[in-house]
Amino acid sequence: MDDKTRALLGGHEAAKLAHFSLFSGIGGLDLAAGWAGFTTVGQCEWADYPTRVLEKHWPDVPRWQDIRTLTGDSFYEKTGMRTVDVISGGFPCQPFSVAGKRRGKEDDRYLWPEMLRVISELRPTWVVGENVAGIVNMALDTVLSDLENIGYTCQAFIIPACAVDAPHRRDRCAIVAHYNEVRCGLRRFEMERVHGNMPRHEIDSSSKDVSNTDCNGLEKQGMQGLPEKQGASVANGGWWPVEPNVCRVAHGVPSRVDRIKCLGNAVVPQQFYPIFQAIADTERRIYMDDLKSALFGNKEAAKRLTDAGVLVPCPFCGGTGVLDSEFPAGYFWVLCTGCGMQTEAFETEPKASLAWNTRAPILSAKELEMLEGME
């Protein structure tokens, strides 16, 4: 492979995937997304204690407290992005939980309509929703119908925590949706990859324990390993026995009530990691297909990359293109950080990006053949 082709591919072999979490809690879905290679670019959480946990582990991520104040414009103001690859959210489960009154849509905490509004404004490629299994016969039909009405193909299924070797059942309903208009011809998401053999993800638990976070200057304590199986299996209808000499309340632990409440509302990251990993694999494959096509002069592929906020490499040096602007005139252009080559000025960022991405073919047929051989 010559230096030009190598430079064109440098830094572009893996798509940079953006994740935005709603009802973030202590970051269970954010952890799962991070393990799969996503970068969390925004979080929304109402409660104070979980927010402090998020601030410790994701200190530089923009946040919103009230989802009702979250709009597409406010997202752009804080992140500089118009959309993301994935929006995830475990909208409040209390309206559907068997531990509550199960008032469903009549509950004041029924915030699915607000999550739907944010999805409608940002139009992410994927949506990953999470809730208790009780939503299946109370509001799931509404959720799926709402998503389909705004252009998403959806599928829902139940994942128990014991499927990823957690010592409890904790059934959770996973809702996965793909925006149909993002890429024509994309195959329907293969749910069997998630529903079948769920991969075990070995994580250093001592460095990923977001629940045991000291938000008051206390020393962080490492998370203990999961207890070994004893007695009947959950999968066979039994239950794990209570560990001896373990009290129900952790006396003497600072913010113990907040911590217990956070854990009670939290997502087991390993339950949702396979979903994010499957999405990441799909997106990276499609990204490389579009990148190759755009480099060869395919304008439709270049337009899709533009819509996704991607700038193809410079045709002269393979360098990185960046958006630049002139104020107060308000014109935009794309400039190569390597050789200084730039587009003409345009009135909007998308027009400047599209002009950069839809120039003459960058790769020759021979270079494209080399690129094909890298897969």
Domain ranges of the chain: 17-283, 296-372
What pLDDT shows up at residue 106? 58
What pLDDT shows up at residue 101? 56
Give the pairing of strands 38-44 and 63-64: parallel
What pLDDT shows up at residue 251? 66
What pLDDT shows up at residue 374? 54
The CATH H-level superfamily of 17-283 is: Vaccinia Virus protein VP39 (3.40.50.150)
What pLDDT shows up at residue 37? 93
SS3 annotation, 59-109: CCCCEECCHHHCCHHHHHHHHCCCCCCEEEECCCCCCCCCCCCCCHHHCCC
Give tens-digit pLDDT for 59-111.
Answer: 999 999 999 999 999 999 999 888 999 999 988 756 555 555 555 555 566 78
What pLDDT shows up at residue 210? 35
Contacts of 131 (CB under 8 A, 6+ apart): 90, 91, 93, 96, 172, 173, 175
What pLDDT shows up at residue 169? 85
Residue 307, phi then psi, degrees to nearest 5: -60, -30
What pLDDT shows up at residue 115? 94
What pLDDT shows up at residue 71? 95
User: Which parts of the chain register pLDDT below 50?
Assistant: 1-14, 182-240
Whether the Cβ atoms of residue 348 and residue 367 lie closer than 8 Å to each other: no
What pLDDT shows up at residue 245? 54
d(CA 124, CA 126): 5
d(CA 213, CA 199): 27
Helix (H) or strand (E) holding 371: helix 365-372
Helix (H) or strand (E) holding 20: strand 17-22
